[in-house]
Amino acid sequence: MYEDLKKIYDILKDKNYHTANEISEILNFSTKTIRHKIKELKEILIEYNITVESKTSYGYILKGELVDFSKINTKENKNNLDTVKKRISFLANLLLNTKEYIKIEEIAKKMYVSSKTVSVDLKRLENQMRLNNIEVIRKPYYGIKIKASEQDIRNYLIEIFDDLEVKIDLGKKIYSYLNDKSITISDISFENLLISIYVSVNRIKKAHHIENIDVKKDELFLEKRNVIKDLLKKFFKDISFNEYDIDYITIRFLTAVTLNYSSVRKDIDDINEIIEDILYYLNLTFQINLYNNEMLYKNLYTHLLSLTIRLRYDIATSNPLLEEIKLNMPFEYKISKYVAKILEDKYEKNITEAEIGYIAVILHVGIETNKEKSSKKNILIVCPSGRGVSKFLIYTYQNLFSEYVSNVLSCGVNELRHKNLENIDVVFSLVDIDFKIKRPIYKINAFLNNEDISKIKSILSSNEEKIEKVIPKSLFTYLDEKKEKEEIIRLMCDKLAKIENIPDNMLELILEREKLGMTELGNVIAIPHTIKVLNNLNYIGVVVSKEKIKWQNNMVNLILFLFLDNANNNDYIYRTITKLIDDKEEIENISKNNTYQKFINTIKGKIYDI
């Protein structure tokens, strides 16, 4: 890097001998790295009749008529500014390390490019910096300079930092120190901490200190601050950190270190409230009940502790597994975008895709844990032959289908008429049943052959109800003219009124839920539903509009009224809906297809893709 070569040049320009060990201690590099950089510097200086000579036991010395290093045509200036990315990086470092105004023409000379190229690159840089609250100030006849807090400057430099050698040199020392303190930190977070320390040290060397930082110094913060303070004292004895500099690095450390739930405070109201909101809306909107999942709660709590610190101090994070998360956890990623909206509304900050990806992983683990507990079915066997045969069948089903079955119960035909089936998933009967019940029912034989066993396993492993039953034709509407939101809700309520067991206050229940907001997925689908889950009701009402309709914040073509209860396994339905969110082409096709069957075929296609 240009700055590293300049530092070595500045040390050697007194024309005295300096050893590699001496220079490495000053710059916090390994002696191997110093020798490598001196070799690079030596090649550059030949052009200016300056030589770097070495002498055993003495070190390195400069010979020749020295010049100002800013005038030296380094490899970084001459050869390494051949791409936009490299030029912007150079331009950023130059402006962030220059206190006074500097003219475009002067920058162009340093970069060996035209003033026009600098102006174009500067516009790109401004767009980047604006995201970090950094402003480029222009003053006629004077030039440009940066206006920003030291905290924002460091955050930006950490984001654009790219020097592998520095990470390796500094990392070995600090990793060993943290290991001795039994501190757990992921590789990515550890790298982020190293860069944070390196950037802070270099800014302080140039007399750039953080002047103020508002931080709540609770027990957790003070504990980590002591670790950072000791670390800095051990490895950077010659650097004068003020109290705010230490606070800043501690904040970066808190967002990087893996927090242990057992060692953090459990009574942080802000975190508990946001978890309550997340669990409430996931349950209300998607019927995903994660309330009693202790592991999920702990994972969310510790993650949100770090996330809220990042949001408060505008600290970016990376997620190298983001694309794999999107590919392998599409459902969890989509509902995490929904969760991100809750966080954005609360903290008034943008939640990045990287952050959404981490939330998706936590939700995935929580949902899968719940599945392990709830995927097994409760079955009822209808047997008219008395307790002896019933016990035999219960024993048989418990043994043959233990992988799929949680509880096996039995009853007679007459008892079935009045039996509460709320906790029953599937009914098997030895005889024909001539009356309707609210659960799927299958005829079976008392003694099962291999074909019977395979058929029952297939039934027990399937979660899909017939899609036409969940989305009946009577609840499908295609609009070829624009209507207002409340008109559409009333239209659906009129259709629902014709279905058995629909409450009279359905309109009120939907409108009450709409007041809470958060009934949009992405910016293409609206998902209105009731303020509370209605038992014994498992339908989706569909309104497809040719014209876009303003729902809450977005214009939508597809409105899905979700009336799905907790008694049915509707996971596949929610996964299907979330698959539509990013498929704008499919939404466009749906808005042009005005028939029920075409819509059902589209949904079935998505189900089979799950």
> What is the mean pLDDT of the segment spanning 521-544?
86
CA 358/CA 11 separation, integer angstroms: 45
> What is the mean pLDDT of the segment spanning 193-207?
90
> What is the pLDDT confidence band of residue 568, given thresholds at 50, 70 and 90?
low
Highest mean pLDDT among 76-90, 195-209, 251-265, 576-590: 195-209
Is there a contact between 247 and 309 (Cβ–Cβ < 8 Å)? no
By C-alpha distance, which of 118, 121, 150, 122 is closest to 134? 150
- In this predicted structure, the answer to whether residue 399 has a pLDDT above a threshold of 80 is yes
CA 13/CA 66 separation, integer angstroms: 7
- In this predicted structure, the answer to whether residue 518 has a pLDDT above a threshold of 70 is yes
- In this predicted structure, the answer to whether residue 261 has a pLDDT above a threshold of 80 is no
> What is the mean pLDDT of the segment spanning 221-226?
89
Looking at the fold, whether 209 and 297 belong to one and the same domain comes out as: no
Is there a contact between 83 and 9 (Cβ–Cβ < 8 Å)? no
Looking at the fold, whether 532 and 517 belong to one and the same domain comes out as: yes
pLDDT in tens, 466-485: 677 888 999 999 998 889 99
- In this predicted structure, the answer to whether residue 215 has a pLDDT above a threshold of 50 is yes
Looking at the fold, whether 352 and 475 belong to one and the same domain comes out as: no
The tokens for 372 are: 């392990």
> What is the mean pLDDT of the segment spanning 586-604?
83
Domain that includes residue 590, residue range: 467-609
Looking at the fold, whether 118 and 44 belong to one and the same domain comes out as: no
CA 140/CA 539 separation, integer angstroms: 66
**CA distances (Å), origin 532, targets 71, 273, 357, 562, 564:** 71, 20, 29, 11, 10
CA 484/CA 487 separation, integer angstroms: 5
CA 2/CA 82 separation, integer angstroms: 15
More confident residue, 255 or 168: 255
pLDDT score recorded for residue 241: 95
Looking at the fold, whether 577 and 536 belong to one and the same domain comes out as: yes
Q: Which of 432, 461, 490 is the last residue of a domain?
A: 461
Please name the residue that has the structure tokens 């942080």.
268
By C-alpha distance, which of 97, 120, 121 is closest to 2? 97
Q: How far is CA 569 from the centre of its chain?
A: 27
Looking at the fold, whether 15 and 49 belong to one and the same domain comes out as: yes
The angle, 0 to 180 degrees and rounded to 10, between the axes of the packed helices 31-45 and 2-12 is 90
Please name the residue that has the structure tokens 């010979």.
63
- In this predicted structure, the answer to whether residue 607 has a pLDDT above a threshold of 70 is no
pLDDT score recorded for residue 79: 46
pLDDT score recorded for residue 403: 80
Q: Which of 439, 461, 483 is the last residue of a domain?
A: 461
**CA distances (Å), origin 204, targets 208, 222, 246, 422, 565:** 5, 22, 11, 67, 60
> What is the mean pLDDT of the segment spanning 192-210?
90
pLDDT in tens, 277-295: 999 999 888 888 888 888 8
pLDDT in tens, 548-564: 899 988 899 899 999 88
Query: 359: helix, coil or strand?
Result: helix
Looking at the fold, whether 339 and 404 belong to one and the same domain comes out as: no
Nearest 5°: the CA angle 451, 453, 457 is: 120
Is there a contact between 296 and 332 (Cβ–Cβ < 8 Å)? no
Looking at the fold, whether 489 and 588 belong to one and the same domain comes out as: yes
Looking at the fold, whether 474 and 604 belong to one and the same domain comes out as: yes
- In this predicted structure, the answer to whether residue 610 has a pLDDT above a threshold of 50 is no
The tokens for 294 are: 């202790």
Residue 154 domain-assigned (yes or no): no
Lowest mean pLDDT among 79-93, 200-214, 412-426, 554-568: 79-93
Q: Order of strands, edge to edge, in the sheet holding 525-526? A: 476-479, 539-550, 555-563, 525-526, 520-521
Q: What percent of the chain is predicted at pLDDT more than 90? A: 32
More confident residue, 168 or 247: 247
In terms of Cβ atoms closer than 10 Å to its own Cβ (0-12, 13-18, 19+), residue 386 is exposed
Looking at the fold, whether 472 and 602 belong to one and the same domain comes out as: yes
CA 40/CA 51 separation, integer angstroms: 12
pLDDT score recorded for residue 327: 85
Lowest mean pLDDT among 25-29, 74-78, 533-537: 74-78
Q: Domain containing 339 — which CATH number?
A: 1.10.1790.10
Average pLDDT, the chain: 85
Could you give the number of structural domains in the chain?
A: 6
pLDDT score recorded for residue 538: 84
Query: 555: helix, coil or strand?
Result: strand
> What is the mean pLDDT of the segment spanning 593-598?
84
- In this predicted structure, the answer to whether residue 377 has a pLDDT above a threshold of 50 is yes
Q: Rg of the chain over CA atoms, in angstroms? A: 33
pTM of this structure: 0.62
